[in-house]
Amino acid sequence: MQSPDLSLAGKLDNLLTKGLCSLLGGLANTFIWLLGVLVLVGQPIQIFKYGEGLSDISWAEWGFMLLFVLLLRRHIHYCRHFSTGIWAGLSRLVVFQGRLACAGLSILGFVVGLESQFGASTDLSSTVDPVMDVTGLGLVLLMLYLAAPTSSTTRSAPVDPSLVPVEKEVAV
């Protein structure tokens, strides 16, 4: 049974809802993408934060840079293997980093909210914990690992076996 057509007001309301949902979805995707770019741009800034060149880098940061290059090479290899374009592969990498940053900011906000509810100190800028730095670098590497494509992006329609030509038996 078919439903009757919407009235003009219903069509306009439906169109407005679709437009606003598309706008909000686009803004969310743009925010996640820009956050991912900030994460990737912020890594060299975090590593070279004291401005002393290569003498500033700790062993953990050397390891991070080596693993980052290797995982980036892996990402490019999988992008080529699954025929993902350079821009789609880069976008995938940036989106995964943005999702990590969103999750991290949500957790940070939750922790600050809990601390403020229980009256604990929320002075986060005075504590520099090397474990947190290494954890942050490790999470960036994890997202780089997970961002590699796992299948081809081109979707093919399922093949109906009745339409596939069958080889005819030839009697010799």
60 located within any domain: yes
pTM attached to this predicted model: 0.71
| Amino acid 37: pLDDT | 94
Q: Can you list the alpha helix ranges (DSSP code H) found in the chain?
A: 8-47, 59-81, 86-117, 130-146
Q: Which two tokens stand for residue 84?
A: 């993902």
As for how many domains the chain has, the answer is 1
Pair 142, 99: CB distance under 8 Å: no
11 belongs to a structural domain: no
Residues 99 and 29 sit within 8 Å (Cβ to Cβ)? no
Q: How far apart are CA 95 and CA 103, in angstroms?
A: 12
14 neighbors 6 (Cβ within 8 angstroms): yes
User: What's the angle, vertex CA 138, arms to CA 124 and CA 126, rounded to 5?
Assistant: 15
Could you tell me if residue 169 is inside a domain? no
62-117 pLDDT, tens digit per residue, is 999 999 999 999 999 999 999 988 889 999 999 999 999 999 899 888 988 888 88
Copy the structure tokens of residue 169: 């038996």
* Residue 24 structural domain: 16-48+56-150
Residue 160 included in any domain: no
In a domain, 118, yes or no: yes
- pLDDT tens figures, 2-58: 677 888 888 899 999 999 999 999 999 999 999 999 999 988 888 888 777 777 788
